Each structure stands twice: as C-alpha cells, then as structure tokens.
Amino acid sequence: MTLSMYQASGPVFVRGLENLAAILAKGAAHAEARKIDPAVFVNARLAPDMLALARQVQIASDAAKGCIARLAGVEVPSFPDTETTFPELQARIAKTIDFVKGLTAAQIDGSEERTCILKTRNDEIKLRGQDYLFKLALPNFYFHLTTTYDILRHNGVELGKMDYLGRS
C-alpha cells in the first residue's frame, strides 16, 4: 500500500491542530478554576530566550497551512499574528483546520517532486515536496505543538500523553 502525500499531511495536521485546541482548552479551564489570569499562560515561555505560548500556537498554525498550501500549489493564506487570548488562539486554530480541510487529495497527491519555496528573512529555501513535508514542515509543526504542551504542563496544567496524542 502506498502512502499518499495527502494522507501524510492534511489529516495529520488536522489531528495535531485538534489536539492543540484541546490542550489550550485545558489550559483555559485550569486558569479559570485556579483564578489565574489567562494572560499568564498565553504569555508564558519555557526559557527567557524562547517564544511565548501564543507565538508557539501561531507558528504551529503557520507550519500546517504553509505546508499544505505549498504542496497543493496554492497561495499560503496570511493570518495576522495578533492573538493574545485563548479564544483568539482557538479561532486561529479553527481557521487553520478549515483551510487544511478545504484542500483535496487531488490537489496534494503527486506533490512529492513539486518544488516548494520558503522565503526567509535573508534567503529562499527550495525543497522537493516530500523533503519539505517530512524533513521540515512536520518536525517544525510538532516542535511548536510540543512546546505549547510543555509550557502549559510546566505551569501546572494537568496534561498527559493522551492529551498530546489525542484519542481514537
């Protein structure tokens, strides 16, 4: 059985984003139950030189929508990075899921050899679709999803492995 580029990207990003939304919901509930200002969590970071939780969520969203768009050969949607609350972060995740689900297997399958171009501050990175997905986009997505989990867990939110992996 062959694994398609769609199977390896779209549903994987959706599942991760849904798990991320559930993790954030637990963070918001924890803050409310303990009478902690939610901004404490949204602005928390693991180390002084790391990005805050809100930025971690934004980058996870960017990794998912950027990858799936490039694989499909469509324009990457631009979302302003203005979220400062749990509800705003949840809305961004929902918008990202909607975008990912809006692309079809027909648009993504066969993108293994498609050139994906990522613009950086000083340069341009060109990768084959398969290399982009497996060597850059998925690891980057999971890094930021994991860091979000770790920030909340470090701050006392009761999270476990199944929150990260998701059910089903």
CATH of the domain at 83: 1.20.120.450
Range of the domain at 66: 10-161
Q: Are 117 and 16 in contact (CB under 8 A)?
A: no
Does 93 map to a domain? yes
Does 129 map to a domain? yes
Query: For the chain, how many structural domains are there in total?
Result: 1
pLDDT given for residue 2 in this prediction = 76
Q: How far apart are CA 1 and CA 5, in angstroms?
A: 13
Does 133 map to a domain? yes
Does 102 map to a domain? yes
44's tokens: 């928390």
Q: Kindly give the confidence (pLDDT) of every residue in the chain, 168 residues in length, as a single tens digit, with 9 standing for 90 and above.
A: 577 999 999 999 999 999 999 999 999 999 999 999 999 999 999 999 999 999 999 999 999 999 999 999 999 999 999 999 999 999 999 999 999 999 999 999 999 999 999 888 899 999 999 999 999 999 999 999 999 999 999 999 999 999 999 887
Residue showing tokens 């549903």: 11
Burial label, 58 (beta-carbon count in 10 A; 0-12, 13-18, 19+) = buried
Does 168 map to a domain? no
Does 3 map to a domain? no
Q: How far is CA 100 from CA 30, 31, 50, in A?
A: 29, 30, 27
Degrees (nearest 5) of the Cα angle 74, 75, 78? 145
Q: How far apart are CA 14 and CA 97, in angstroms?
A: 6
**Dmax (CA) of the chain:** 51
- The region, left, alpha or beta by phi > 0 then psi within -120 to 50, assigned to residue 109 is beta
